[in-house]
Structures are given as C-alpha cells and as structure tokens.
Copies of this chain bind each other. A is one copy, B any other.
C-alpha cells in the first residue's frame, strides 16, 4: 500500500499525476490519499502530523510525503525506513519527529535527479522511488546515517494549531498522552476544558479532546472551532 501525505490538493492536477505514475510503475498496488491538503510550506506542522497519522498502518506501507518548498534547490531526496514502514520525500525536516520517536531507523539518500522537472519531484523522483519500494524492490540510493536527515531543533510537542479540518476542528501538534485531561488549555484568550467527545459538552461549547489519532484537538459541539475561537493554522496554544 502506498499512502500519499502531501500538500498537492485532490482536485488537480498533482495528485492525479502522482497516482498515474504510481499506477504505471506499481500496477496493482493500492494508493490511499491520506492527506492532500497539508499546509504549504509548513514543514513543522506536517512533521507533527506524520507520526500521528502514519501510526497503525501495516508493515511495509510506503508513505510518499511531500511538503517541499525547496523543490528544485539543493536539498536531496531521502528514503527512511522507520519501524518497518517506508517514507520517501524531500530532506527538509519532514521526517524529524518520526525518526526521533522510532525504535529502528535506516536512511538512504536519493541521487541528484537528472532529466526531470525542477518543480515536481513528487511525480518525477519520489513517486518512482515509492513505486519501487511498494513492489518490494530497493531504490538506487546511498545508505546514510540517520544524522544526515534534516533534524531541526523542534520540540517533541508543538503547542500550536497544525491543521484545520473540514469541520473547523483545530488539530494541534501536541500528543494528548502528554497532558492530563484535567488540564485547561488556552488558545486566543479562551481557557478550555477537555471532554471525551463532542456530545460531552453542550451544543456550541468549545473544548479540547484527544482526537482519533492521539493529538490534542480543539472542537465545538455542532459548530466550527476555528470560527468560534478565532483560530487558524499557526495559532499558539498554552497550558
């Protein structure tokens, strides 16, 4: 199974071009579009979401991960094997938290691309590599130490909003297991209690809860937390 974790959008044309390339080079392999609306340029947010949303997939799943403001520049592409799953993408910090938390990590650096576009490595570099890995082959890449990965000095938990979902819920970069459910969280002047789920509070009330992938999320029962709380991607939260 190949899982797409990108900022490409699902309407066109980038996700479709990647899927076409994957289909041609790995026919019969299922392709799942997990995220296609990661926030462009916000690598740190994506780096927080990746370990949370890639958890639970079966061994040998291949994650094609692209939030890639440096495309066409000198940043190399990498292949990471972490706890049995493969991750392919640009070396710009996206894998930093994944690798930090993984039990077993191996890394490879992809060769400098030749004869491909300078603006769409998702299609021309990473998709071919992902297709090879998904079919059980190895890519032409140089084994390197995990210290070669771009590992910015980012905290383990990011106290800000990383993603607003279709319902207006605000997903943060904080693992809920790091907090006690009795703790209040502050965001944009609001102090919020936790609840187990939406129906645990009155309609219209805001709260925080552990979302279905283990992250702290702000929500409003039958409403939009982004509007009710006046928050957006990047809004800082605090204890």
Contacts and interface: CB of A to CB of B under 8 A. Distances in A.
B222 A41 contact: yes
Contacts of A124: 212
Contact of A11 (B9, B30, B72, B197): B9
A111 interface: no
Interface in A110-127: 117-120, 123-124
Contact-residue size bin, chain A (C-beta under 8 Å from the other chain): 35 or more
Contacts of A19: 32-33
B27 A30 contact: yes
Contacts of A32: 16, 19-20, 23
Interface of A: 1, 3-4, 7-17, 19-20, 23-24, 27, 30, 32-38, 40-41, 53, 57-58, 69-73, 117-120, 123-124, 165-167, 196-200, 209, 211-213, 221-222
